Homo-oligomer: A and B are copies of this chain.
């Protein structure tokens, strides 16, 4: 989806409009990373050096802007998952995914909210991406279990649990957040190991599609 060819026909943007669009997206990414997803639209517009109306016309709803702003990062995530599935060692792939996603959350404050947010009618093709990601995760978990390194009672929803928990530490200032997040990931991965596993309470009903995305 990135690098879409410069359309020439109807529906194409004028050059200055395209330019502004990019500036808005850049400003939004910066602002989201630094201050979270709740930054006022006016702040983004100011940062981008455009009027509010421009921003608002280009991205009619807040969700639309968020979606576009984080498209790249979501693609990175998808790539991460593909890498993990390509790894001959499923447990290593599993760990890498968890660790890297945790870092991404810690580094970018808005990432979690964008990731979890549902774009029910945003017109984007996220639904498809999400479904593919979920399938990939299920498969990764299945393989890691079959390999005997991931505990058998691990639920796929536990990955959402990781996401939410890590979102909590990601709310801290960035430097603290990355250190804390790394440590949390290490702790959790340790307890996901099959070796030495102890009984657990039942998993929480935390599908990736029905979590409440409250701004983070």
Contact = CB atoms under 8 A, between A and B. Distances in A.
A90 to B, nearest CB: 19
Interface in A150-181: 158, 161, 164-173, 176, 179-180
Interface string A184-215: 10111011100111101111111000011010
A182 interface: yes
Contacts of A29: none
A46 B197 CA distance: 50
Count copies of this chain in the complex: 2
Nearest to A199: B186
A187 B189 CA distance: 9
A212 B179 contact: no
Contacts of A188: 187-188, 191
Nearest to A216: B171
A200 B182 CA distance: 9
A143 B84 CA distance: 41
Interface of A: 158, 161, 164-173, 176, 179-180, 182-184, 186-188, 190-192, 195-198, 200-206, 211-212, 214, 216
